[in-house]
Chain A
């Protein structure tokens, strides 16, 4: 069965610290990969996505993620976090050729940034 693992359930950082959130998936075929962010009281928003091409993907608000096919990973990074980055982050995977639009989500990582 398809699974998406996010290794950290809660990450606490000070402002200006660097961030890396891990995401691994178990499907061996071609995938589309996503990171979504959910700010308190708000909807899930797409942070960045990987469909094909350059495995280093840049998203909004200074976030980036790197797809490493050999490691089945799509880790999210930001060199210097801000208090406003406090949110829950979800990794999601869509298998190419699967039921249309079906996304498999990780459990989420709560990021708390102290000012």
Chain B
């Protein structure tokens, strides 16, 4: 148990569906992240939020829409996805930090997404 909880663990959705992934952290952190883990590829950073404000969108298609209502919760809204979007989506959090601080990221177990 890392203190970062993701739901659901598995999700199968059609290309016309709308679904949402949820992440909750119980660590008192202020920064949260979405990563995508595809087979045979490095983890890809998708979005970064600090104190609920999005600080980075790593050129992610608009069919992925993040939402961070507070520092403890992070959502990823999914709409009209493609089969190539099938992957493990990981949420992470870290202590709010200045650019030079030493911190580490804590990861959730991920949501295994399959787009059919």
Residues of A within 8 A of B (CB): 4, 32, 34, 36, 42-46, 49, 51-52, 90, 92, 96-108
Chain B residues with CB below 8 A from A52, complex form: 102
Which single residue of chain B is at the shortest CB-CB distance from A91?
A: B42
A45-B2, A100-B99, A104-B42 are known; give 19 further A-B pairs, CB within 8 A. Answer: A34-B104, A36-B107, A42-B109, A43-B108, A43-B110, A44-B107, A52-B102, A90-B43, A99-B55, A100-B98, A101-B31, A101-B33, A101-B48, A101-B105, A102-B45, A103-B45, A105-B43, A107-B40, A107-B41
Q: Render B11-53 as a binary contact track against A, CB cut-off 8 A, 1 for contact.
A: 0000000000000000000010100000011110100101000
Whether a CB of chain A sits under 8 angstroms from the CB of B80 is no
B104 touching A97 by the CB < 8 A rule?
A: no
Of all A-B residue pairs in the complex, the 3 with the closest CB atoms, nearest first, are: A44-B107, A105-B43, A43-B109
Chain B residues with CB below 8 A from A99, complex form: 48, 55-56, 99
Chain B residues with CB below 8 A from A98, complex form: 99
The minimal Cβ–Cβ distance linking B74 to chain A, given in whole angstroms, is 13
Q: Render B82-116 as a binary contact track against A, CB cut-off 8 A, 1 for contact.
A: 00000000101010111110111111111000000
Interface centre among A52, A90, A105, A106, by most B CB within 10 Å? A105
The minimal Cβ–Cβ distance linking A34 to chain B, given in whole angstroms, is 7
Chain B residues with CB below 8 A from A44, complex form: 90, 92, 107
Which single residue of chain B is at the shortest CB-CB distance from A32?
A: B102
The minimal Cβ–Cβ distance linking B55 to chain A, given in whole angstroms, is 7
Chain B residues with CB below 8 A from A92, complex form: 43
Interface centre among B4, B42, B90, by most A CB within 10 Å? B42
Which single residue of chain A is at the shortest CB-CB distance from B97?
A: A100
Which single residue of chain A is at the shortest CB-CB distance from B56?
A: A99
Which single residue of chain B is at the shortest CB-CB distance from A95?
A: B99
Chain B residues with CB below 8 A from A102, complex form: 45, 48, 56
